[in-house]
Every structure is written in structure tokens, then in C-alpha cells.
């Protein structure tokens, strides 16, 4: 059987496990060739570190993709994480058009906000641009904050119910994607998980685990990468979404137990064998 290939487009933080430094090993562990298109290089990620260096690679995106076109490069999936500007959003949307084929999965993780706030580099105009990119995707993986910014709704905090979540999922699907996985969902104290919606079947599904206290950098990137790896191993949406939850929780739990410095991200490396087992 021919090996599948992912092209993932996001930044590289040289220290701090997030973006490409987690996407590449996790998707590779799923048995998938992982090609990368870096959008920026940072000495560290921006959460918890100061004085970091930043090199913008926006001007390299088009030449790289143009070279790939001369190779006849094909991909089974296109996957975006953190993108840094409206210009990058537009370039990536063009890349989708250039490399998408009938069976290609396009997954967008609209990494731009959390806990009711946009990340410092972004404004509402960027959020609306991200909404346009999500409209071009097959699968989107926002958290509740990102969903509300794209839909121009007030952030509900913890004051929401299943009806509200299913409304968000439907509205996100109406933008264009056929499947939506909403992360950071909780209907009861001590439980946290995901809500998934498939527009074709009109089916909502949920998966929850015990909540581990604290905030952990890079877990959204880990989750989306593990989700895509499972989908490309032919797992149905809810099974893939659940595998990604179990893997991410295991990485968080190991980090929590070791009481390591959380700004460096979570120890997903030691639980990669679990991920591979879950895919089998």
C-alpha cells in the first residue's frame, strides 16, 4: 500500500513543543510522510517566554509551493496550524487550491485564541480572515473561543449547554467544512473533552475525560496532529477524535505527574507508543 503524505503549514518554535515540532513527529508516528512548509521561525514559542527571536517566512511560502508544483507533488491531506497574518491566510488558501485533489483532506486548526481572548498578534479582522480559510476546509478544529470569534458571537465562558454547543457546530459547518471538532467542551465540573459534528450524517458525538488542572502550552497542536493521523489511518471521525483526546490527556498527565516547567510544552514523546497502539 502506498504511503500517505501530509503537507502541514505552520511555524517552527525551536524550543517549546508546539506547531511543527509536534506535528512532524506525531503524524510521522502514524506512519504518514510529513512534508512541512514553515511560515516563521522563532527561537521559542511565545507563551511564557520573553526576548524570543522571530523570522517571518511569508515571502517563502509562494516560491516553495511553486517549486512543489513543478515536482507534481501530491498530498493526501493539507493541514494548517498557527498562521501569523492575513497575507499568510490568503497564500495558504491559494495553496489549498493548487494541491487539493478529489480525495485530499484539508484540516484547519484556527489557532488564534483561547479563554475568551485573541492571541496578542491578532484582531477581529484576522479572525474573519480565518473564518474564510475555514470555509475552504473539510475539517475544522477550533476551541470555543475561536468558534465564537469566527461566528461573531459573544464568548460564553462556562455558561453554555449542549444546545449551545450543537448550534456552534452547525454554524461552523454551514461555513463550508463537512466535519467540525470543537475542543475544550465541558458540561460538568471535572470533565473536559470534544464535540464532533458530521454535516453529511447530521450526527453529533461527544467524548470526555477527567480534567487535569492547569494550562499546558501546545496541547491544541498535539490534538489536531493526532486527530489527522488517526483520520488518515481510516478511523471514523469520533474514533479519531477520541484517540486524539486519549493521547493528549496521557501527555498532559505525564507532564503533570513529573511537575516539569509547563512553558516547554507537554511530554508527548513518551506516550507516542500509546498513540501508535491506539491506531492499530
C-beta separation of 252 from 266 below 8 A: yes
Place of cell 496550524: 81
Dihedral over Cα of 4, 8, 13, 18: its sign: negative
Give 3-58 pLDDT, tens digit per residue: 999 999 999 999 999 999 999 999 999 999 999 999 999 999 988 899 999 999 99
C-beta separation of 92 from 9 below 8 A: yes
Place of cell 492499530: 280
Give the C-alpha separation, 130 to 135, whole Å.
9
- Which residue, 117, 103, 173, is CA-closest to 140? 173
Give 265-279 pLDDT, tens digit per residue: 999 999 999 999 999
Question: b/e string for 42-56 if b means 16 or more Cβ within 10 A?
Answer: bebbbbebeeeeeee
Q: Can you list the domains of the chain with their CATH numbers?
A: 5-279 (3.40.1190.20)
Q: Is the pLDDT of residue 152 over 80?
A: yes
Task: Please tell me the predicted confidence (pLDDT) of residue 48.
Answer: 86
Question: b/e string for 206-238 if b means 16 or more Cβ within 10 A?
Answer: bbbbeeeeeebbbbbbbbbbbbbbbbbbebebb
Beta-strand pair 113-114/5-13: unpaired
Give 58-101 pLDDT, tens digit per residue: 999 999 999 999 999 999 999 999 999 999 999 999 999 999 99
In the structure, what pLDDT confidence band is assigned to residue 165 with cuts at 50, 70 and 90? very high
Dihedral over Cα of 86, 91, 96, 97: its sign: positive
- Segment 105-112 mean pLDDT: 98
Give 197-234 pLDDT, tens digit per residue: 999 999 999 999 999 999 999 999 999 999 999 999 99
3-state secondary structure 166-192: HHHHHHHHHHCCCEEEEEEECCCCCEE
Mean pLDDT, the chain, integer: 97
Q: Is the pLDDT of residue 257 over 80?
A: yes
Instruction: Extract the C-alpha cell encoding 60.
Output: 517563502
Amino acid at each position: 500500500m502506498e504511503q500517505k503524505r501530509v503537507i502541514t503549514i505552520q511555524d517552527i518554535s525551536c524550543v517549546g513543543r508546539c506547531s511543527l515540532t509536534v506535528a512532524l513527529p506525531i503524524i510521522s508516528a502514524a506512519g504518514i510522510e510529513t512534508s512541512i512548509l514553515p511560515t516563521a521561525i522563532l527561537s521559542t514559542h511565545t507563551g511564557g517566554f520573553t526576548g524570543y527571536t522571530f523570522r517571518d517566512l511569508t515571502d517563502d511560502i509562494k516560491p516553495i509551493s511553486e517549486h512543489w508544483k513543478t515536482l507534481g507533488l501530491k498530498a493526501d491531506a493539507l493541514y494548517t496550524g498557527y498562521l501569523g497574518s492575513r497575507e499568510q491566510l490568503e497564500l495558504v488558501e491559494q495553496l489549498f487550491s493548487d494541491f487539493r485533489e478529489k480525495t485530499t483532506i484539508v484540516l484547519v486548526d484556527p489557532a488564534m485564541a483561547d479563554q475568551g481572548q485573541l492571541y496578542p498578534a491578532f484582531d477581529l479582522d484576522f479572525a474573519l480572515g480565518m473564518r474564510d480559510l475555514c470555509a475552504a476546509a473539510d475539517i475544522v478544529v477550533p476551541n470555543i473561543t475561536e468558534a465564537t470569534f469566527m461566528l461573531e458571537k459573544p464568548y460564553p465562558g462556562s455558561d453554555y449547554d449542549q444546545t449551545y454547543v450543537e448550534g456552534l457546530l452547525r454554524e461552523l459547518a454551514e461555513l463550508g467544512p463537512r466535519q467540525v471538532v470543537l475542543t475544550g467542551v465541558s458540561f460538568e465540573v471535572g470533565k473536559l473533552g470534544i464535540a464532533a459534528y458530521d454535516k453529511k450524517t447530521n450526527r453529533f458525538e461527544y467524548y470526555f475525560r477527567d480534567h487535569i488542572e492547569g494550562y499546558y502550552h501546545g496541547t491544541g497542536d498535539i490534538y489536531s496532529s493526532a486527530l489527522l493521523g488517526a483520520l488518515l489511518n481510516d478511523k471514523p471521525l469520533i474514533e479519531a477524535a477520541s484517540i486524539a483526546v486519549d493521547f493528549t490527556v496521557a501527555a498532559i498527565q505525564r507532564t503533570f505527574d513529573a511537575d516539569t516547567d509547563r512553558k516547554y510544552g507537554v511530554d508527548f514523546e513518551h506516550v507516542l507508543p500509546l498513540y501508535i497502539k491506539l491506531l492499530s
